[in-house]
């Protein structure tokens, strides 16, 4: 990996990480994840570094996710690099979640999948007006991973279940409302914010000087509907509830869900239900078990074919309907592995 794909600098009190693949929307590679983990480990024990700031080059994306095309190629070839990537990524997610120093992520632009994993678990998450935050994995035959098992069930009400099943995209106000961002700072102020964080003794005081109101969150007006429909006991029950509602919002949501992988939706519902009851490490263990089964399955590769490779946007899911995805099949994704994630 070219070292230039991620840059490290100690600036004053701050350890500064800059994702540097703007041509690829700063998509996260295994090499980048390993280097970030190693640098965070070094900075953890470096008295010069009081806090860490992660940002990204370019004005389009913080990090649009993992390198999906590379994962697709590895998966088709049954290359163990596929599972190695997820092991590396998930261990980094855990390290960030448990990091003993403030970890400030400036999420300016597209932030999805792997980009969520290296930001949302930090102590401070700074959204800008350019943020587009999403966990769109059910649309490519995957599931909301990188710690989604933990943070989605802890969003207000049933918002996390809604986000996980639909892949709904959040702008800054909704990201703060959902709790995935802690502050809103205009993008034009972010360079000055980084400069001030480099000399700041108190991160919270510094952020309070830059934070602004993100405005009213559009999702708030649908919060009661989300809580009502997404609190029922399964995906079929959610779709039935939305259909019975019949409102424009409910029918639009139903149509979005109908486009997603039935298997992914059922896995996601079970994943988030379990995740609400266990700690972060157990959540990541769950995700590693699921992704190992995804590697051996069909829908992830079909989803990537339809969305990224052929771009026909017409995935042929197998099974094609929710009714065909049995409880036993879903449960098998959560079975223990011979080689578990070493948490």
Q: State residue 159's pLDDT score.
A: 99
Among residues 5, 108, 137, 174, the one annotated as catalytic is 137
Residue 306's beta-bridge partner residues? none
Work out the mean pLDDT of the chain and round it to a whole number. 97
Residue 1 has pLDDT above 50, yes or no: no
Among residues 5, 35, 108, 145, the one annotated as catalytic is 145
pLDDT tens for 222-263 read: 999 999 999 999 999 999 999 999 999 999 999 999 999 999
Contacts of 312 (CB under 8 A, 6+ apart): 306
pLDDT tens for 11-42 read: 999 999 999 999 999 999 999 999 999 999 99
Q: Give the Cα separation of 38 and 33 in Å (integer).
A: 9
The domain segmentation of the chain, as residue ranges, is 1-343
Q: Quick check: is 157 catalytic?
A: no
Average pLDDT over residues 54-81: 95
pLDDT tens for 123-169 read: 999 999 999 999 999 999 999 999 999 999 999 999 999 999 999 99
Q: What is the largest CA-CA distance in the chain?
A: 59
Average pLDDT over residues 272-277: 98
Average pLDDT over residues 179-193: 99
- The DSSP 8-state label assigned to residue 29 in this structure reads P
pLDDT tens for 91-131 read: 999 999 999 999 999 999 999 999 999 999 999 999 999 99
Share of the chain above pLDDT 70, in %: 99
Neighbouring C-beta atoms of residue 279, cutoff 10 Å: 12
Q: Quick check: is 66 catalytic?
A: yes
Q: State residue 3's pLDDT score.
A: 56
Average pLDDT over residues 273-287: 99
Name the residue among 256, 259, 268 with its Cα closest to residue 313: 259
3-state SS, 64-119, equals: CCECHHHHHHHHHCCCCHHHHHHHHHHHHHHHHHCCCCCEEEEECCEEECHHHHCC
Average pLDDT over residues 263-291: 99
Among residues 65, 66, 139, 167, the one annotated as catalytic is 66
**Which homologous superfamily is 1-343 in?**
2-enoyl-CoA Hydratase; Chain A, domain 1 (3.90.226.10)
Q: State residue 2's pLDDT score.
A: 47
Q: Quick check: is 9 catalytic?
A: no
- Is residue 202 classed exposed, middle or buried when 0-12, 13-18 and 19+ CB atoms within 10 A define those classes? exposed
At 211, the pLDDT band (50, 70, 90 cuts) reads: very high
The length of the chain in residues reads 343
Q: In this structure, are residues 118 and 62 in contact, taking their beta carbons and an 8 Å threshold?
A: no
Q: State residue 89's pLDDT score.
A: 98
């Amino acid at each position: 990996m070219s070292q230039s794909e991620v840059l490290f600098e100690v600036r004053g009190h701050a350890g500064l990480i800059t994702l540097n693949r703007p041509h690829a929307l700063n998509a996260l590679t295994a090499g980048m994840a390993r280097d970030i983990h190693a640098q965070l480990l070094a900075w953890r024990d470096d008295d010069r570094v009081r806090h860490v700031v992660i940002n990204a080059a370019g004005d389009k994306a913080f990090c649009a996710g993992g390198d999906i095309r590379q994962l697709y190629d590895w998966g088709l070839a049954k290359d163990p690099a596929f599972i190695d990537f997820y092991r590396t990524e998930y261990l980094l997610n855990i390290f960030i979640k448990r990091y003993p120093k403030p970890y400030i992520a400036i999420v300016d632009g597209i932030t999805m999948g792997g980009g969520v994993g290296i930001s949302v678990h930090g102590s401070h998450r700074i959204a800008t007006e350019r943020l587009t935050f999403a966990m769109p994995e059910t649309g490519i035959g995957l599931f909301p991973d990188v710690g989604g098992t933990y943070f989605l069930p802890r969003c207000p009400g049933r918002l996390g279940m809604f986000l996980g099943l639909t892949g709904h995209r959040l702008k800054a106000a909704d990201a703060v409302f959902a709790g995935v961002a802690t502050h809103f700072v205009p993008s034009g102020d972010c360079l000055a914010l980084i400069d001030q964080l480099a000399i700041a003794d108190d991160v919270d005081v510094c952020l309070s000087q830059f934070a602004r109101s993100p405005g009213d969150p559009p999702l708030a007006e649908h919060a009661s509907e989300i809580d009502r429909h997404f609190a029922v006991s399964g995906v079929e029950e959610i779709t039935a509830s939305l259909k019975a509602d019949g409102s424009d919002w409910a029918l639009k949501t139903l149509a979005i869900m109908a486009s997603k992988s039935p298997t992914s939706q059922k896995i996601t519902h079970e994943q988030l239900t379990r995740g609400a009851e266990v700690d972060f490490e157990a959540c990541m263990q769950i995700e590693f078990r699921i992704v190992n089964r995804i590697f051996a399955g069909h829908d992830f590769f079909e989803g990537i074919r339809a969305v990224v490779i052929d771009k026909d946007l017409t995935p042929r899911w197998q099974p094609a309907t929710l009714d065909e995805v049995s409880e036993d099949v879903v449960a098998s994704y959560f079975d223990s592995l011979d080689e578990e994630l070493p948490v």
